[in-house]
Amino acid sequence: MKAILALEDGRTFPCQSFTGPGETGGEVVFNTSMTGYQEILTDPSYSGQMVTMTYPLIGNYGVNSEDIESDKIQVSAFLMREYQNFPSNYRSTSSLADYLKAEGILGIDELDTRALTRHIRNAGAMGAFISTEDLNPSSCVKRARKIPSIKGQDLTKTVTTKAPYYWTNGKPIICKPATTGLNKNVWKCKGEKLSVVAFDFGIKYNILRCLESRGFEVVIVPAWTQAHTVKAMEPDGIFLSNGPGDPEPVIYAIETIRSLLGYVPMFGICLGHQLLGLALGGKTFKLKFGHRGANQPVKNLLTGKIEITSQNHGFAVDAQSLQGKNIEITHINLNDNTLEGFRHKELPIITAQYHPEASPGPHDAAYLFDEFKAMIKKKVIV
């Protein structure tokens, strides 16, 4: 079915839909991963975005119930050069097209993804509109220009959990105290396992798998949970998750994090890293086209080693803005020298802009979960 992709700057691309008729809009971005499309589709950090895969052939291994990172598809559209409608993999239970259709998400192929990616790299990520019904370029460009910018939007509130829950044996289980309030009695294994409150700004399942595999008992709370509630729970550590969009409008989380600084060890990744930077008095800015892929090189300044990392973010913390705030920069991106991680020189705080849990991607940075555990154990023993 013929379709058109129109960008807000006037550029248009002919393409086709392999999921049937439809229209949608959002910020158009690109991901350089060669595999892992199901994890990408279900990553809440992509909320409000149309994702273009730079790898040319997508869909060849189908989809399954195990490779998901949230309870639904999060992207507003999925764009590729060539869709493979005949998957071949022993784990496959369905085709990518059927998966997208079931959730009403447009799948687009026969698109010149190289030209689109080059355009985004030169002009920056921007609003876009896709239609199979209105194929008039000028009309679609006008509709693309009406797409609200991600900058200034609080997208966290659209993806966060509505109620607290446990992560037990690889599955979410709603907390019964959700209606009566959270307190120190919420923990089922207090004294046996280290307890962690994880703020859900758009958390990925594999983060929770990584925390559980380190022996943590984890309770996930909504993004708007206040500091007094967390303190009433008396956790051993606090985790700040990934999430979509601009961190600056998430004022309620920034204020809560600021109130919790130094309370217990804290680990923030992706949006959590950015929110920690803002809580400590730093500033953030929007990257031209962001970092999205499973092959981003990062240098660990503490060890001198290079890590290949999985990333998905369009905003970054301004490293200069953290000067004089007792912060040590620990990681930098080798493509553009942007800040990828820091730690506080006095308080038990570590961060990573990238995704140490990967999924998809390499496991070079998985050690950060072990560092978080070591930081908590040191605090608990003291």
Q: Which residues are catalytic?
A: 270, 355, 357
How far apart are the C-alpha atoms of 135 and 129, rounded to whole Å? 11
How far apart are the C-alpha atoms of 360 and 37, rounded to whole Å? 8
Query: Scanning the structure block, which residue is given the tokens 């958390």?
Result: 203
**CA angle, residues 213, 162, 278, in degrees to nearest 5:** 75
Alpha carbon distances (Å) from 225 to 85, 129, 166, 222 = 43, 35, 15, 6
From the CB of residue 90, how many other CB atoms can be counted at a distance below 10 Å?
Answer: 6
Given a contact cutoff of 8 angstroms between Cβ atoms, the answer to whether 211 and 167 are in contact is: yes
Q: Are strands 171-174 and 165-168 parallel, antiparallel or unpaired?
A: antiparallel
Residue 165, token pair as written in the block: 């829950």
Chain centroid to CA 194: 25
How far apart are the C-alpha atoms of 289 and 31, rounded to whole Å? 10
How far apart are the C-alpha atoms of 167 and 270, rounded to whole Å? 20
Element (H, E) at 284: strand 284-300
CA proximity to 241, closest of 348, 380, 352, 80: 352
Given a contact cutoff of 8 angstroms between Cβ atoms, the answer to whether 138 and 4 are in contact is: no
Query: Scanning the structure block, which residue is given the tokens 């990333």?
Result: 311
Given a contact cutoff of 8 angstroms between Cβ atoms, the answer to whether 220 and 200 are in contact is: yes
Length of the chain: 382
Distance between the two ends of the chain, CA-based, in angstroms?
Answer: 65
CA proximity to 199, closest of 245, 234, 164, 151: 164
How far apart are the C-alpha atoms of 166 and 175, rounded to whole Å? 6
Cβ burial, residue 4 (10 Å; 0-12/13-18/19+): buried
159-171: b or e for each residue (b if 16 or more CB lie within 10 Å)?
Answer: bbbeebbbbeeee
